[in-house]
Structure 1
Amino acid sequence: MAARGIETTVVTQTGSYFFELSNAKGWKTFGFDFSRRKNVLRISRGISELLERETPDLVHAHGARSALPVSLLPRAKRPAFAYTVHGFHFDQKGPGSRQFFKLVEKLCIGRADQIIVVGRADEAFAYREGLIDDPRRWSQVYNGVELPPGCIISQRPEFDVAFVGRLHPQKNPLVLPEILAAMKRPSARMLIVGGGELETSLRENCRSFGVESQVTMTGTKSRADALELMSRARIFVLPSLWEGVPVSVVEAMKMGLPVVASRIAGNQELIRHGETGLLADPLAPTEFAEHLSSLLDYPQLAQSLATRAASFASTTFSIDNQVTAHLRIYESAISQSRARRPR
């Protein structure tokens, strides 16, 4: 953005990885506590005051947690508003909660001048749920993903399988020890990078399935450290129950790691089974185990999948493409916002 003459201000979770990174880069950065939904009115007031001081042409909110405080601002106090949906998570809620969180999404979508989805599966879901009233306000833009310089796979891997992600029910990490046990390879090593509320349960599963000595758990790591650890593996695995377009899979593809992932909408947008990776039922650990074993047994198959995946990811998920698309969307949002204002 800066290279194209766009001055950007970052508003994010105080103390988060992105907050620290943004400050280190010297970007203008402001922190709020987005971690609690009950703070939404307080955050809205803070953002309102910030917008009055900074007078931006546009505010771009990522996810409903940040879009809701912006949506609650009076139109007169809100500049042009773009909203990126990072997955429609209300679909994973119970019946009562599902309706409430769907209404929250509808509010954010209704107040935004432009809405962005990061994958075709989310766009199709929005149509099914009746969330798209005016297709001209909607765009699908893939996230640009670039690896740090020198991030290449190791020629002497330490691990056979790597998982990188939050230890959260969405990512389905508790199935990992069962997958490893089903592989029936006592010498196989699995790397698990990430932290979260399921860490204790995951350690217990490793013990109960008898694979504790085969698993290395690192806890939460920075992106650079996580990618460096990922590069020491032979295969990347992601058994998620639901996804938008998982960045970790794109990173693995660009790095040249073959991927075995769950057969769900977001992953199927990235992986053509047997061409750019392998897919398995997230509730069938034996199917995951069979795919992982086949890639370990047949390195040529693993290499051919990885090569095709890297070619696909390098052309589809570029930063330049994402920035170009966003600038076009910003111009549309600003024009729509100005047309709304009283003359």
Structure 2
Amino acid sequence: MRKPVLTIFYQFNPWHASIGGIQTLINTFIKYAPDEFEVKLVGTASDASQPIGKWQQAEFAGREISFFPLFLVEDDNKRSLIPTTLKYTAALLGRSFSSDFMHFHRLEPSLAAMNWQGEKILFIHNDIRTQMKTVSDQKAILWRKFPGVYFALERLLIGQFNQILSCNTDAAEFYRQNYAHLQDCIQYVKNSFDNEVFYPWNWQEKQAHRRELATQMGLDEETRFILFAGRLHPQKDPILLIRAVAKLKESNAHLLIAGDGELAPSVRQEIEQLGLSNKVTMLGALKQPELAKLHRLSSVFVLSSAYEGLPLVVLEALGSGTPIVTTRCGETPKLLHLDSGVICEQRTPECLADALDKVLSHPDNYPIEACVRTAQPYAARTVIRDIYGEMFNRWEIGKLSLVS
């Protein structure tokens, strides 16, 4: 019996360390794909030894998939002069990857899919209105320079999608208002984290591992770790975070930055100028198991972003039993409870520092169990199983209608 085919489109290589929630979500979709589906990924190669422009069978997370690299991207964590999304879209033009189901995580590549046959699903990861308005750096988002062109492209392409799934309720409502004729296609969908990877230690284990890391780093044994994980990009505003660390009252706090990106030199410069070399450690991009360990031993995870959808890294931190300090952006403030995090009402170093001090000074107010409970509805096995289940039901109905 033929299996339904899902083809996922995104500009990355799942076997190569790459920073970003979209990449993590796709990896989870592959890992938890039921046996009833054949899964394909159209991505990019990470080294010259990979055959370009050819289907190849490979295993990822214990799952057999078909992989088609369109071109070479040696470092996905750094932006090139020509945006990778533009190169990826251009490489798709003139090809046909028609499938039973097609998942798109950026709008632009669907330009090549206008005549492809099959059910197309668009995942919306950010609130586009906020994304266009709030970032001061014009280079952060290319479309911010040409918003009229972007929305014209969106109007051209949006009608081909059978489903539009957004992890941000504000973004979902924006699309319903702007595309009333597609209301039935637009849904809010939970983002999901892999709770087989991101799980908590008990309090005693957490403290033991925290002290062990502090000793390894040559820090005081009582050091409490603040964790930031993500791309060093204007969206995440790591400079704001560094300035907040300079205003912390908690003397034993130490910031760990797990990630890389175009702002890395600016972040290093800011650390040096503020004399924070003994208070901040930049770790670069980490593999998932290493990051999961840091989530479990950290005292607080911090999000200093200008805009977001629902960051997977927040769910990963909560699932690891670690409370959140966040700016008021995206979906995170809507899911946090008083015992799982603090929301900053102002995007200032002072407000961020006060929130971090609050969590660090009163850890008993943010118990491990409360954080895990907040994340539990977003566990990948449940969320992704339901999405695949709905897809399979639609496929079965489609087969029956063809027979009748």
* TM-score computed with the length of structure 1 as normaliser: 0.83
Aligned to 1:135: 183
Aligned length in residues: 324
Letter of the 2:66 counterpart:
K
| 1:108 to 2:165 alignment | no
Which stretch shows the higher mean deviation, 168-177 or 313-322? Answer: 313-322
Contact 2:260-2:285 within 8 A present in 1 as well: yes
| 1:152 to 2:200 alignment | yes
Q: Measure the CA separation in 2 of the matches of 1:149 and 1:265.
A: 24
Letter of the 1:284 counterpart:
T
Q: 1:315 to 1:302 in 2, by over 3 A?
A: same
Q: Deviations over 1:186-245 (max 9, x none)?
A: 432110000000000001111111111111111112222222233231111111110001
Query: What does 1:1-343 correspond to in 2, within 5 Å?
Result: 2-15=33-46, 22=60, 25-33=63-71, 35-46=84-95, 48=96, 50-51=97-98, 56-70=99-113, 73-74=114-115, 77-89=116-128, 91-93=130-132, 97-128=146-177, 130-149=178-197, 151-153=199-201, 154-156=206-208, 157=210, 158=214, 159-272=224-337, 274-281=338-345, 283-303=347-367, 306-329=368-391, 331-332=393-394
SS of the equivalent of 1:142 reads coil
Which stretch shows the higher mean deviation, 98-107 or 144-153? Answer: 144-153
Q: Measure the CA separation in 2 of the matches of 1:313 and 1:92.
A: 25
Contact 1:120-1:269 within 8 A present in 2 as well: no
Q: Measure the CA separation in 2 of the matches of 1:150 and 1:198.
A: 27
SS of the equivalent of 2:283 reads strand
Contact 2:339-2:365 within 8 A present in 1 as well: no
Q: 1:200 to 1:160 in 2, by over 3 A?
A: same
Bigger proportion of residues as helix: 1
* TM-score computed with the length of structure 2 as normaliser: 0.71
Structure 1 vs Structure 2: percent identity of aligned residues?
22
Q: Deviations over 1:148-173 (max 9, x none)?
A: 45843432324420101110111111
Deviation of 1:326 (Å): 4.2
CA-based RMSD: 3.0
Q: Measure the CA separation in 2 of the matches of 1:218 and 1:21.
A: 28
Contact 2:127-2:170 within 8 A present in 1 as well: no
Q: Measure the CA separation in 2 of the matches of 1:100 and 1:330.
A: 36
**Which structure 1 residue ranges, 5 or more long, are not aligned?**
none
Q: Measure the CA separation in 2 of the matches of 1:20 and 1:189.
A: 40
Q: Measure the CA separation in 1 of the matches of 2:191 and 2:84.
A: 23
SS of the equivalent of 2:41 reads strand
Q: Measure the CA separation in 1 of the matches of 2:399 and 2:130.
A: 30
Q: Measure the CA separation in 1 of the matches of 2:127 and 2:257.
A: 26
Contact 1:148-1:224 within 8 A present in 2 as well: no
Q: Deviations over 1:108-139 (max 9, x none)?
A: 321112211123122123235x1342221122
